Protein backbone atom coordinates (compact mmCIF):
# COMPACT_ATOMS: atom_id res chain seq x y z
CA UNK A 1 0.00 0.00 0.00
CA UNK A 2 1.24 3.49 -0.81
CA UNK A 3 -0.29 6.62 0.69
CA UNK A 4 -2.02 9.32 -1.31
CA UNK A 5 0.16 12.41 -0.94
CA UNK A 6 -1.97 15.44 -0.04
CA UNK A 7 -0.28 18.34 -1.82
CA UNK A 8 -0.96 21.65 -0.10
CA UNK A 9 -0.56 23.58 -3.33
CA UNK A 10 -3.51 21.73 -4.86
CA UNK A 11 -5.64 22.31 -1.78
CA UNK A 12 -4.60 25.98 -1.67
CA UNK A 13 -5.60 26.50 -5.30
CA UNK A 14 -9.20 25.50 -4.57
CA UNK A 15 -9.40 27.54 -1.35
CA UNK A 16 -7.86 30.57 -3.07
CA UNK A 17 -10.67 30.72 -5.61
CA UNK A 18 -13.32 30.31 -2.90
CA UNK A 19 -11.81 33.14 -0.84
CA UNK A 20 -11.56 35.47 -3.82
CA UNK A 21 -15.26 34.91 -4.53
CA UNK A 22 -16.20 35.38 -0.88
CA UNK A 23 -14.24 38.62 -0.52
CA UNK A 24 -15.82 39.99 -3.70
CA UNK A 25 -19.27 39.11 -2.33
CA UNK A 26 -18.49 40.67 1.07
CA UNK A 27 -17.17 43.81 -0.59
CA UNK A 28 -20.33 44.20 -2.66
CA UNK A 29 -22.53 43.62 0.38
CA UNK A 30 -20.75 46.19 2.56
CA UNK A 31 -19.75 48.62 -0.16
CA UNK A 32 -16.14 48.51 1.08
CA UNK A 33 -13.56 45.70 1.20
CA UNK A 34 -12.44 44.14 4.48
CA UNK A 35 -9.53 45.96 6.12
CA UNK A 36 -6.58 44.34 7.88
CA UNK A 37 -4.30 46.51 9.99
CA UNK A 38 -0.67 45.40 10.35
CA UNK A 39 0.73 46.59 13.69
CA UNK A 40 4.51 46.61 13.76
CA UNK A 41 6.96 47.77 16.42
CA UNK A 42 10.51 48.38 15.21
CA UNK A 43 12.22 47.20 12.04
CA UNK A 44 12.92 43.49 12.62
CA UNK A 45 13.62 41.76 9.31
CA UNK A 46 11.20 38.88 9.93
CA UNK A 47 8.38 41.28 10.78
CA UNK A 48 9.06 43.39 7.69
CA UNK A 49 9.17 40.34 5.42
CA UNK A 50 5.87 39.04 6.80
CA UNK A 51 4.36 42.50 6.32
CA UNK A 52 5.41 42.40 2.67
CA UNK A 53 3.92 38.92 2.16
CA UNK A 54 0.58 39.99 3.64
CA UNK A 55 0.57 43.06 1.40
CA UNK A 56 1.00 40.79 -1.61
CA UNK A 57 -1.93 38.69 -0.37
CA UNK A 58 -4.11 41.80 -0.18
CA UNK A 59 -3.28 42.69 -3.77
CA UNK A 60 -4.30 39.21 -4.85
CA UNK A 61 -7.51 38.91 -2.85
CA UNK A 62 -8.80 42.46 -2.83
CA UNK A 63 -8.82 43.30 0.87
CA UNK A 64 -7.26 46.49 2.23
CA UNK A 65 -4.04 46.55 4.25
CA UNK A 66 -3.16 49.48 6.49
CA UNK A 67 0.20 49.66 8.25
CA UNK A 68 0.61 51.02 11.75
CA UNK A 69 4.34 51.26 12.52
CA UNK A 70 5.74 52.29 15.90
CA UNK A 71 9.19 53.02 17.24
CA UNK A 72 10.94 50.56 19.52
CA UNK A 73 11.95 53.60 21.54
CA UNK A 74 8.37 54.02 22.71
CA UNK A 75 7.51 52.63 26.15
CA UNK A 76 5.66 49.29 26.41
CA UNK A 77 2.73 51.17 27.92
CA UNK A 78 2.63 53.52 24.94
CA UNK A 79 2.73 50.61 22.51
CA UNK A 80 -0.21 48.92 24.27
CA UNK A 81 -2.11 52.21 24.24
CA UNK A 82 -1.47 52.58 20.51
CA UNK A 83 -2.75 49.05 19.88
CA UNK A 84 -5.92 49.66 21.90
CA UNK A 85 -6.48 52.88 19.99
CA UNK A 86 -6.37 51.28 16.53
CA UNK A 87 -8.39 48.31 17.80
CA UNK A 88 -11.19 50.71 18.66
CA UNK A 89 -11.56 51.91 15.08
CA UNK A 90 -14.78 50.80 13.40
CA UNK A 91 -13.17 50.77 9.93
CA UNK A 92 -10.62 48.12 10.96
CA UNK A 93 -11.96 44.57 10.73
CA UNK A 94 -8.87 42.68 11.83
CA UNK A 95 -5.45 43.36 13.30
CA UNK A 96 -2.26 41.35 12.91
CA UNK A 97 0.46 42.16 15.45
CA UNK A 98 3.77 41.40 13.76
CA UNK A 99 6.61 39.75 15.63
CA UNK A 100 9.30 39.85 16.82
CA UNK A 101 9.25 42.97 18.96
CA UNK A 102 12.42 44.91 19.77
CA UNK A 103 14.33 44.18 22.98
CA UNK A 104 12.58 45.65 26.00
CA UNK A 105 9.09 44.93 24.65
CA UNK A 106 6.96 41.87 25.40
CA UNK A 107 5.06 40.75 22.28
CA UNK A 108 2.74 38.41 24.20
CA UNK A 109 1.90 41.00 26.83
CA UNK A 110 1.02 43.47 24.11
CA UNK A 111 -1.13 40.97 22.21
CA UNK A 112 -3.17 40.30 25.35
CA UNK A 113 -4.55 43.83 25.00
CA UNK A 114 -5.92 43.01 21.54
CA UNK A 115 -9.69 42.37 21.50
CA UNK A 116 -10.61 38.87 20.32
CA UNK A 117 -13.05 40.50 17.89
CA UNK A 118 -10.11 42.07 16.02
CA UNK A 119 -7.58 39.22 16.35
CA UNK A 120 -6.89 38.17 12.75
CA UNK A 121 -4.15 35.66 13.58
CA UNK A 122 -5.90 33.85 16.41
CA UNK A 123 -3.23 34.86 18.93
CA UNK A 124 -5.91 35.26 21.61
CA UNK A 125 -7.27 31.76 20.99
CA UNK A 126 -7.78 29.45 23.96
CA UNK A 127 -9.11 25.88 23.55
CA UNK A 128 -12.83 25.50 24.01
CA UNK A 129 -13.34 29.19 24.71
CA UNK A 130 -13.54 30.73 21.24
CA UNK A 131 -16.42 33.22 21.08
CA UNK A 132 -15.40 34.21 17.56
CA UNK A 133 -14.67 31.44 15.03
CA UNK A 134 -11.07 32.56 14.51
CA UNK A 135 -8.18 30.17 15.09
CA UNK A 136 -4.43 30.25 14.52
CA UNK A 137 -3.92 29.84 10.75
CA UNK A 138 -1.60 26.83 10.91
CA UNK A 139 -4.15 24.85 12.94
CA UNK A 140 -6.84 25.79 10.44
CA UNK A 141 -4.58 24.64 7.61
CA UNK A 142 -4.13 21.30 9.37
CA UNK A 143 -7.91 20.87 9.45
CA UNK A 144 -8.17 21.77 5.76
CA UNK A 145 -5.63 19.07 4.90
CA UNK A 146 -7.59 16.51 6.92
CA UNK A 147 -10.77 17.48 5.08
CA UNK A 148 -8.96 17.30 1.73
CA UNK A 149 -8.73 13.53 2.20
CA UNK A 150 -12.55 13.44 1.90
CA UNK A 151 -12.87 11.07 4.83
CA UNK A 152 -15.78 11.20 7.26
CA UNK A 153 -14.14 12.74 10.35
CA UNK A 154 -17.07 12.20 12.70
CA UNK A 155 -16.52 9.32 15.10
CA UNK A 156 -12.89 8.69 14.12
CA UNK A 157 -10.05 8.67 16.63
CA UNK A 158 -7.70 11.63 16.06
CA UNK A 159 -4.35 11.80 17.81
CA UNK A 160 -2.62 15.19 17.93
CA UNK A 161 1.04 15.02 18.87
CA UNK A 162 1.89 18.53 20.03
CA UNK A 163 0.29 20.90 22.52
CA UNK A 164 1.34 24.38 21.42
CA UNK A 165 -1.31 27.13 21.58
CA UNK A 166 -0.82 27.95 17.89
CA UNK A 167 -1.02 24.46 16.35
CA UNK A 168 -1.62 21.40 18.54
CA UNK A 169 -4.31 22.65 20.90
CA UNK A 170 -6.40 24.57 18.36
CA UNK A 171 -6.07 21.69 15.86
CA UNK A 172 -7.46 19.36 18.53
CA UNK A 173 -10.33 21.76 19.14
CA UNK A 174 -11.15 21.94 15.42
CA UNK A 175 -11.16 18.14 15.19
CA UNK A 176 -13.53 18.03 18.16
CA UNK A 177 -15.82 20.48 16.36
CA UNK A 178 -15.93 17.96 13.53
CA UNK A 179 -16.96 15.30 16.08
CA UNK A 180 -13.74 13.31 16.12
CA UNK A 181 -12.67 11.65 19.34
CA UNK A 182 -9.41 13.42 20.15
CA UNK A 183 -6.34 12.46 22.16
CA UNK A 184 -3.61 15.07 22.67
CA UNK A 185 -0.08 13.77 23.15
CA UNK A 186 3.34 15.42 23.11
CA UNK A 187 7.01 14.55 22.75
CA UNK A 188 7.19 13.36 26.37
CA UNK A 189 4.13 11.12 26.27
CA UNK A 190 4.97 7.64 27.51
CA UNK A 191 4.43 4.88 24.95
CA UNK A 192 3.73 7.46 22.26
CA UNK A 193 3.85 4.77 19.61
CA UNK A 194 0.80 3.07 21.12
CA UNK A 195 -1.27 6.25 20.81
CA UNK A 196 -0.07 6.86 17.26
CA UNK A 197 -0.93 3.27 16.31
CA UNK A 198 -4.54 3.87 17.38
CA UNK A 199 -5.02 7.01 15.27
CA UNK A 200 -7.37 7.09 12.31
CA UNK A 201 -6.24 10.71 11.95
CA UNK A 202 -2.73 11.72 13.03
CA UNK A 203 -1.57 15.33 13.39
CA UNK A 204 2.11 15.81 14.16
CA UNK A 205 3.09 19.26 15.43
CA UNK A 206 6.09 19.07 17.75
CA UNK A 207 8.93 20.40 15.63
CA UNK A 208 11.00 17.31 16.41
CA UNK A 209 12.20 15.85 13.10
CA UNK A 210 11.45 12.16 12.59
CA UNK A 211 9.75 11.77 15.96
CA UNK A 212 6.91 9.72 14.44
CA UNK A 213 8.19 6.46 12.98
CA UNK A 214 6.50 4.99 9.93
CA UNK A 215 6.05 1.62 11.65
CA UNK A 216 3.88 3.26 14.32
CA UNK A 217 1.22 4.47 11.90
CA UNK A 218 -2.10 2.68 11.62
CA UNK A 219 -2.58 1.32 8.09
CA UNK A 220 -4.80 3.69 6.11
CA UNK A 221 -4.56 6.59 8.56
CA UNK A 222 -4.77 10.24 7.48
CA UNK A 223 -1.46 11.81 8.54
CA UNK A 224 -0.90 15.58 8.59
CA UNK A 225 2.61 16.80 9.37
CA UNK A 226 2.75 20.37 10.71
CA UNK A 227 6.15 20.04 12.36
CA UNK A 228 8.48 21.61 9.82
CA UNK A 229 12.08 22.09 11.02
CA UNK A 230 15.23 22.88 9.05
CA UNK A 231 17.84 20.09 9.31
CA UNK A 232 21.14 20.45 7.46
CA UNK A 233 19.65 23.22 5.37
CA UNK A 234 16.57 21.22 4.31
CA UNK A 235 13.03 21.16 5.73
CA UNK A 236 12.10 18.07 7.73
CA UNK A 237 8.81 17.01 9.28
CA UNK A 238 7.87 15.22 12.48
CA UNK A 239 6.86 12.10 10.53
CA UNK A 240 9.35 9.79 8.84
CA UNK A 241 7.85 10.50 5.42
CA UNK A 242 9.31 7.66 3.33
CA UNK A 243 8.45 4.99 5.87
CA UNK A 244 4.99 6.45 6.47
CA UNK A 245 4.23 6.27 2.74
CA UNK A 246 4.06 2.49 3.05
CA UNK A 247 1.41 2.51 5.79
CA UNK A 248 -0.67 5.71 5.73
CA UNK A 249 -3.75 6.20 3.60
CA UNK A 250 -3.09 9.91 3.16
CA UNK A 251 0.06 11.84 3.99
CA UNK A 252 1.12 15.48 3.74
CA UNK A 253 4.67 16.30 2.61
CA UNK A 254 6.99 18.84 4.17
CA UNK A 255 7.25 21.64 3.09
CA UNK A 256 4.47 21.44 0.48
CA UNK A 257 1.67 20.21 2.72
CA UNK A 258 0.27 22.48 5.42
CA UNK A 259 2.51 25.43 4.46
CA UNK A 260 0.81 26.66 1.26
CA UNK A 261 -2.61 26.65 2.94
CA UNK A 262 -1.62 28.54 6.11
CA UNK A 263 -1.57 32.14 4.78
CA UNK A 264 -4.98 31.61 3.20
CA UNK A 265 -6.39 30.88 6.63
CA UNK A 266 -5.40 34.38 7.74
CA UNK A 267 -7.57 35.68 4.90
CA UNK A 268 -10.41 33.44 6.03
CA UNK A 269 -10.08 34.83 9.57
CA UNK A 270 -10.27 38.38 8.22
CA UNK A 271 -13.49 37.50 6.39
CA UNK A 272 -14.95 36.03 9.59
CA UNK A 273 -14.09 39.17 11.55
CA UNK A 274 -15.42 41.38 8.76
CA UNK A 275 -18.77 39.63 8.79
CA UNK A 276 -18.95 39.86 12.57
CA UNK A 277 -18.05 43.55 12.69
CA UNK A 278 -20.84 44.42 10.27
CA UNK A 279 -23.45 42.49 12.23
CA UNK A 280 -23.95 39.76 9.65
pLDDT tens across the length of the chain (280 residues): 689 999 999 999 999 999 999 999 999 999 999 999 999 999 999 999 999 999 999 999 999 999 999 999 999 999 999 999 999 999 999 999 999 999 999 999 999 999 999 999 998 887 766 567 899 999 999 999 999 999 999 999 999 999 999 999 999 999 999 999 999 999 899 999 999 999 999 999 999 999 999 999 999 999 999 999 999 999 999 999 999 999 999 999 999 999 999 999 999 999 999 998 654 4
- Would you list the domain boundaries of the chain? 31-124, 136-261
Task: Tell me, rounded to whole angstroms, the distance of Cα 214 from its chain centroid.
Answer: 25
Q: In the chain, what is the greatest distance between 2 CA atoms, to the nearest angstrom?
A: 59
| Domain 31-124: CATH class, spelled out | alpha beta
The span from the CA of 216 to the CA of 212, in Å, is 7
Is there a common fold for 31-124 and 136-261? yes
In the CATH scheme, what is the homologous superfamily, with its name and number, of domain 136-261? NAD(P)-binding Rossmann-like Domain (3.40.50.720)
Query: Is residue 216 within 8 Å of residue 197, measured between CB atoms?
Result: yes
Give CA angle at 22 (7, 152), nearest 5°: 45
User: Smallest Cα–Cα separation from 41: which of 90, 80, 88, 85?
Assistant: 80
Pairing verdict, β 229-231 and 35-41: unpaired
Amino acid sequence: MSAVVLNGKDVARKIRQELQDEIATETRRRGIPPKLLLFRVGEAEDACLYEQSITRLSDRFGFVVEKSVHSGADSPGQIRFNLKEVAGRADVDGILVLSPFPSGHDYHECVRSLPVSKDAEGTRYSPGAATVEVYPPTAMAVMEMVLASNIQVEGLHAVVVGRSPIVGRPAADLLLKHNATVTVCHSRTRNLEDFVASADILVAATGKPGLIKGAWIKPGAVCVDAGETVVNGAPAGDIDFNAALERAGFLTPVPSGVGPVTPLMLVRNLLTLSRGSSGS
